[in-house]
């Protein structure tokens, strides 16, 4: 699975390098065996962002920006990576992520699917595990009455911003929702959101893996 993520990321021509950051020696050995680049990081990180920052520091190389691609995304579309790479190259944008319109009630009300409200200028107003906004007067099929968006967890950060957020203490909103991006927003850091129609399956559980293997057949 890790090898597939690396292979997909390497297809994005906007990336100068692809590095696996891990705290597991088995993963590090696997990456080395297929010719990938790997950095060993602490086992105590609470977020992928923290792990990205440590990897950046250990590489001790100059990068303008960092893109965080999760290791459970073996089918990640290089076009998604490119879409945020293009945006993070703009001088005015500090952090970029992705969102896809929600077209079913189950996703809308699933607390494991993070929702995001977006301004007309493409900035995130708020992230939540709840369906936001609340639709007064509607009792069902909310997604048919309002454009709700699901957050897709790819991030691109300017290097200077990644270094800044690594020094921030966990915030009240972050603790309430268990969403690290709320810490950044509480500290005045704007997050640009790219809307996309592309979504690929991630593998978080053994059941997810089985579904993907069945679909591949």
Q: Between the CA atoms of 28, 32, 34 and 38, what dihedral angle is there, to the nearest 10 degrees?
A: 60
Across residues 56-79, what is the average pLDDT?
93
DSSP 8-state code for residue 168: P
pLDDT the model gives residue 27: 96
User: To the nearest whole percent, how much of the chain has pLDDT over 70?
Assistant: 100
pLDDT the model gives residue 139: 82
Q: Are strands 95-101 and 149-158 parallel, antiparallel or unpaired?
A: antiparallel
State yes or no: pLDDT of 140 exceeds 80: yes
Do residues 107 and 93 touch, judged by C-beta distance below 8 A?
Answer: no
Across residues 7-25, what is the average pLDDT?
96
Number of domains in the chain: 1
What are the structure tokens assigned to 149, written together? 């968006």
Digit-coded pLDDT (tens) for 108-127 = 999 989 999 999 999 999 99
State yes or no: pLDDT of 156 exceeds 90: yes
The single residue listed with the structure tokens 């086992």 is: 43
pLDDT the model gives residue 29: 97
State yes or no: pLDDT of 167 exceeds 90: yes
pLDDT the model gives residue 99: 97
Provide the domain limits for residue 40.
2-216
**What's the chain's average pLDDT?**
94
State yes or no: pLDDT of 165 exceeds 90: yes
- What CATH number does residue 157 fall under? 3.90.550.10
Burial readout 126-150 (b: 16 or more C-beta within 10 A, e: otherwise): bbbbebbeeeeeeeeebbeeeebbb
pLDDT the model gives residue 22: 97
Across residues 96-105, what is the average pLDDT?
96
pLDDT bin (cut points 50, 70, 90) of residue 104 is very high
pTM over 0.75: yes
């Amino acid at each position: 699975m890790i090898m597939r993520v690396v292979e997909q990321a390497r297809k994005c021509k906007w990336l100068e390098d692809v590095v696996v950051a891990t705290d597991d020696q088995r993963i590090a050995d696997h990456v080395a065996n297929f010719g990938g680049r790997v950095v060993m990081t602490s086992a105590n990180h609470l977020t992928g962002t923290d792990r990205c920052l440590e990897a950046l520091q250990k590489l001790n190389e100059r990068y303008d920006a960092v893109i965080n691609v999760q290791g459970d995304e073996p089918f990640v579309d290089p076009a998604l990576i490119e879409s945020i790479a293009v945006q993070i190259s703009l001088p005015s944008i500090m952090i970029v992520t992705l969102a896809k319109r929600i077209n079913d009630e189950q996703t809308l009300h699933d607390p494991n699917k993070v929702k995001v409200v977006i301004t007309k200028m493409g900035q995130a107003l708020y992230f939540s595990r709840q369906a936001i906004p609340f639709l007064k007067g509607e009792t069902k099929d909310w997604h048919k009455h309002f454009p709700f968006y699901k957050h897709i967890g790819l991030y691109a950060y300017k290097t200077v911003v990644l270094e800044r957020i690594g020094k921030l203490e966990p915030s009240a909103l972050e603790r309430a929702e268990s969403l690290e991006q709320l810490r950044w927003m509480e500290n005045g850091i704007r997050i640009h959101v790219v809307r996309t129609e592309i979504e690929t399956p991630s593998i978080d559980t053994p059941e997810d893996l089985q579904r993907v293997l069945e679909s591949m057949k």
